[in-house]
Amino acid sequence: MKCHEVLVLILILAVIFTSGCITQKQTQTPENFIYKGTVYTNCHSNPNFPVQTNKQTITISDATDQQQGSAMFPWRAITVRDYVLFDASTGKAIYNFDEMIGKSITATGYVGSGNISEQAFYNKSVILSQNFTKVLYVTEVKYWQNICCDAPSSSNVCTWFPNNYKFEEPECLTDADCAGKTIPKEYQNSQPGCIESTNGSPAYCPQQKWICETGKCQFKAV
């Protein structure tokens, strides 16, 4: 093989290797982000993953599916090769897995049984339970990260995202973050309740102001 051919081969291998590294690189988790119309704050990678265990583990790879309960007991669970995936750090079924549905994943964990149980909405004294005999207690999901954040109605909500997920960061968290923004052009002249700009002075709309809604600054009536 000639020198230039060797050089070309090395370059090709370098590109392949670099491409592989890029696809596996973990995106830095922003402190705050918007997901499905909800603003999540104080976000961080779940320190419990990967979970350390002395139990014998297996690794399975395949497309995910989900199982669902009924209207009377509306549980959800994600499965791979008929294994229901549980969180090895909590002992409970994995939840907030929407990004995983239909995707091919590689999960490592130990095999056992488990159940999902909760109080019946129609009678708090009744406990509904769904048992599973084929459970994988997940210690790690390759190329996926478990991100925990505070949500408006609860704290430390953990959700699974692929390592290369592109997070949408919020423009604002409070109304104060929107202070000083320019009045939109459509409001600057001849809008009801607004004083037109004259002699270089800015327009003024006493009945509208900038507020923060779902992480974005909105100019609305007050």
pLDDT tens track, the chain, 222 positions: 555 554 545 545 544 444 444 445 666 889 999 999 999 999 999 999 999 999 999 999 999 999 999 988 889 999 999 999 999 999 999 999 999 999 999 999 999 999 999 888 888 888 899 999 999 999 999 999 999 999 999 999 999 999 999 999 999 999 999 988 887 776 665 555 566 666 655 566 767 888 999 999 998 877
Residue 7 lies in a domain: no
Task: Give the model's pLDDT for residue 100.
Answer: 97
| pLDDT tens profile 140-187 | 999 999 999 999 999 999 999 999 999 999 999 999 999 888 877 766
Task: Give the model's pLDDT for residue 174.
Answer: 95
Residue 9 lies in a domain: no
Range of the domain at 78: 27-162
Same domain? 59 vs 153: yes
Task: Give the model's pLDDT for residue 192.
Answer: 58
Angstrom CA distances, 205 to 13, 56, 183, 208, stand at 62, 67, 8, 5
Task: Specify whether the CB–CB gap between 154 and 37 falls below 8 A.
Answer: no
Q: For residue 152, give the nearest of 39, 37, 27 by alpha carbon.
A: 39
What total number of domains does the chain contain? Answer: 2
Q: What beta strand segments (E) does 69-206 contain? A: 76-80, 83-87, 104-120, 123-141, 144-151, 154-162
DSSP secondary structure string for all residues of 172-184: -SSGGGGTTPPPP
Same domain? 193 vs 145: no
Task: Give the model's pLDDT for residue 204.
Answer: 66
Same domain? 31 vs 140: yes
Of 135, 162, 189, the position where a domain reaches its end is: 162
Distance CA 163, CA 22 (A): 10
Global confidence as pTM: 0.78
Task: Give the model's pLDDT for residue 194.
Answer: 67
Same domain? 155 vs 188: no
Same domain? 60 vs 120: yes
Distance CA 20, CA 48 (A): 26
